A and B are shown apart, each in its own frame.
Chain A
Amino acid sequence: MARVIVTTSGKGGVGKTTSTANIAAALARFGKKVVAVDADVGLRNLDVIMGLENRVVYNFIDVIEKVCKLNQALVKDKRVPGLYLLPAAQTRTKDAVTPDQMVALCEELKPEFDFILLDCPAGIEGGFKNAAAGADEALVVTTPEIPSVRDADRIIGMLESMGKSPIRLIINRLRPNMVQDGDMLAKDDILDVLSIDLIGVVPEDENVIRSTNNGEPMTMSLDSPAAQAYLNIAERLLGRDVPLMDLESYATRGFLSKIKKFFKGKKK
């Protein structure tokens, strides 16, 4: 029976879809059978990030409306065994599905997979409620910015009231240099406000943009800090005890930056 996990955030643009694609690919690399469901009806992107947009024929709204069978809508990723995508409809709106239908869809998927990852749309309205309805667990993605943390806090409150457990946090796009300089919220600052378990910290990495545009999740091949962070998150989801990455080493900068920092420190 599959574990159903919703990836959500409240705020848009924090990396929900990227996280879903990479964690799904990483779990599949660890031998699990995984389906990534794009629950962002009307604004689907998961197919593009996973590089499967050309192979989408049906979507999950077609499954719900019984236009096609579930197997016809599932897109198998040929690069990684056990990785599937269930795309969203681009031409419909979020009202096209109800929470009950989403629950029924997840129930139909559960016997076939080990993990069902639901990529939730931004916001707290119907789209979020539909996606969250089908899930048992949640991954809340936030960036180290105050608006993002506040929205994450709102979403956590809603997930708690819906009875989702465990709710775990991914801190995305952390820049250790900026944290060291005091210009960015540190991991502990965020955890102090949100008070939930941290499942991983993903550093800012230009490989994310590269992999998004290439349509290949980083965890499939690329060796980069963000890819490693997503692999670690997948391992933690599997119950393995993986220590947090040492992001301080990524904060090492060039000679000029060090001189700049030296003088900045002297001013104080």
Chain B
Amino acid sequence: MPNILKKLRKPDSRIRIKMERTHYGMKFFLPESLSEDELLRLLVRIPTAAYKLPEEQGIALDFLNRKCSRRLILHMINSIVWEKGIKIFAWLSKNEESLKLFSAAGLSLTEPEKIAPPDPVLTENIKVAEEHREPVSALKVVYNSMRSGQRIESEGDVIVWGHLNPGAEIVAGGSVIVAGRLLGVVHAGGYGREDVFVWAGCFETPQVRIANKLCYADPKTTTCWRKSVLITLEDGTPMIRENKFEKTAKEI
């Protein structure tokens, strides 16, 4: 099929990820006919609860004959394995190059023969560690402007009560609010979350990142330039909305 037709072709909604019950948990057969992005989208859409298995059980991913790219593996680890907290026992494939890539990344290539019973000491240690783990702060507030070269990385949400100057950077697992001028780089949903937003008091940055999406803004064509905006992802597409109710609020 010519490339142009491939691009125009809509993904077949009937294509599903086949799941099989195994002695170690589950085995996912990942269809080859889907593009990498479509496959990722499909895996992300599976509710986190569906990945939940008993503690000693896990999942094997079978890529069949697909030639996997580094990008796909990276995104799978980032958006599926870490984000949903699942245990992958094996990365299977019939494609030699994919197997080489898995091996180079140190991933297990064989399905477990039998499950070892959980080590009671280890289980107890994990419980103790979980109990004493320091809570991750869900919100980080910066009460001044961030200057060029300054960087914040947070697992939760970030609020900058000032400007984000050019050359300053925020990477947040959650959403980001810059109350003043947004001139630097913001990455909301830096670990793959798509249900996040960026709110800027004055939007003046040429680039915003949300989850795995990169959005560019041209000052000459962006109507929201230097305005108060909200940026979100809707069905995987970045959306920018101008604050048009400010005047009404002032009138009140």
**Smallest beta-carbon distance B119→chain A, Å:** 47
Residue B147 CB within 8 A of the other chain: yes
Partner of A158, one of B145, B149, B165, B167: B149
Assess the B163–A150 pair: CB atoms within 8 A: no
- CB contacts under 8 Å to A, within B111-143, are none
Residue A146 CB within 8 A of the other chain: yes
Query: How far apart sit A157 and B183, CA to CA, in the bound complex (Å)?
Result: 16
Assess the B163–A157 pair: CB atoms within 8 A: no
User: Which B residues lie within 8 Å of A150 (CB)?
Assistant: 148, 165-167
Assess the B148–A151 pair: CB atoms within 8 A: yes
Among A124, A146, A193, the most chain B Cβ lie within 10 Å of the Cβ of A193
Cβ-Cβ contact count across A and B, 8 Å cutoff: 32
Residue A156 CB within 8 A of the other chain: yes
Assess the A193–B149 pair: CB atoms within 8 A: no
* In the complex with contacts A193-B163, A193-B165, A154-B145 CB distance below 8 A: no
Nearest-CB residue, chain B, relative to A157: B147
B interface size (C-beta, 8 A): 11
User: Which B residues lie within 8 Å of A252 (CB)?
Assistant: none
Mark contacts of A113-148 with chain B using CB atoms, 8 A cut-off: 1 yes-contact digit, 0 otherwise.
000000000001000000000000000000000100
User: Which A residues lie within 8 Å of B165 (CB)?
Assistant: 150, 153, 193
Residue B69 CB within 8 A of the other chain: no
Query: How far apart sit A193 and B181, CA to CA, in the bound complex (Å)?
Result: 9
Residue A224 CB within 8 A of the other chain: no
- CB contacts under 8 Å to B, within A161-203, are 192-193, 195
User: Which A residues lie within 8 Å of B166 (CB)?
Assistant: 146, 149-150, 153, 193
Q: Is the interface of B mostly helix, strand, loop or mixed?
A: loop
Nearest-CB residue, chain B, relative to A149: B166
Query: How far apart sit A124 and B167, CA to CA, in the bound complex (Å)?
Result: 14
Query: How far apart sit A41 and B163, CA to CA, in the bound complex (Å)?
Result: 36
Assess the B167–A193 pair: CB atoms within 8 A: no
Query: How far apart sit A149 and B183, CA to CA, in the bound complex (Å)?
Result: 13
User: Which A residues lie within 8 Å of B207 (CB)?
Assistant: none
Query: How far apart sit A150 and B185, CA to CA, in the bound complex (Å)?
Result: 14
Nearest-CB residue, chain A, relative to B183: A193
Nearest-CB residue, chain A, relative to B150: A157
Query: How far apart sit A146 and B206, CA to CA, in the bound complex (Å)?
Result: 14
Query: How far apart sit A126 and B8, CA to CA, in the bound complex (Å)?
Result: 56
Partner of B149, one of A146, A154, A195: A154
**Smallest beta-carbon distance A193→chain B, Å:** 6
**Smallest beta-carbon distance A142→chain B, Å:** 12
Query: How far apart sit A146 and B165, CA to CA, in the bound complex (Å)?
Result: 12
- CB contacts under 8 Å to B, within A65-82, are none
User: Which B residues lie within 8 Å of A157 (CB)?
Assistant: 147-150
Among A149, A150, A158, A160, the most chain B Cβ lie within 10 Å of the Cβ of A150
Nearest-CB residue, chain A, relative to B162: A195
Query: How far apart sit A154 and B150, CA to CA, in the bound complex (Å)?
Result: 8
Nearest-CB residue, chain A, relative to B167: A150
User: Which B residues lie within 8 Å of A158 (CB)?
Assistant: 149
**Smallest beta-carbon distance B193→chain A, Å:** 29
Nearest-CB residue, chain A, relative to B165: A153
**Smallest beta-carbon distance A175→chain B, Å:** 22
User: Which A residues lie within 8 Å of B147 (CB)?
Assistant: 153-154, 156-157, 160
User: Which A residues lie within 8 Å of B150 (CB)?
Assistant: 157
Mark contacts of B139-175 with chain A using CB atoms, 8 A cut-off: 1 yes-contact digit, 0 otherwise.
0000001011110000000000001011100000000
* In the complex with contacts A193-B183, A195-B145, A154-B167 CB distance below 8 A: yes
**Smallest beta-carbon distance A167→chain B, Å:** 11
- CB contacts under 8 Å to B, within A200-221, are none
Query: How far apart sit A153 and B149, CA to CA, in the bound complex (Å)?
Result: 8
Query: How far apart sit A195 and B164, CA to CA, in the bound complex (Å)?
Result: 12
Query: How far apart sit A193 and B163, CA to CA, in the bound complex (Å)?
Result: 8
**Smallest beta-carbon distance B23→chain A, Å:** 57
Query: How far apart sit A150 and B146, CA to CA, in the bound complex (Å)?
Result: 12
Query: How far apart sit A12 and B233, CA to CA, in the bound complex (Å)?
Result: 41
Query: How far apart sit A192 and B145, CA to CA, in the bound complex (Å)?
Result: 11
Using a CB–CB cutoff of 8 Å, the interface residues on chain A facing chain B are 124, 146, 149-151, 153-154, 156-158, 160, 192-193, 195
Given contacts A158-B149, A193-B166, 9 further A-B pairs with CB under 8 A are: A150-B148, A150-B165, A150-B167, A153-B149, A156-B147, A157-B149, A193-B163, A195-B145, A195-B163
Question: What are 15 residue pairs bridging A and B, where the CB atoms are less than 8 Å apart in the complex?
Answer: A124-B149, A150-B166, A150-B167, A151-B148, A153-B166, A153-B167, A154-B149, A154-B167, A156-B147, A157-B150, A158-B149, A160-B147, A193-B163, A193-B165, A193-B166
Instruction: Sort A-B residue pairs by CB-CB distance and give the 5 closest, nearest first.
Output: A157-B147, A154-B148, A153-B148, A154-B149, A153-B147
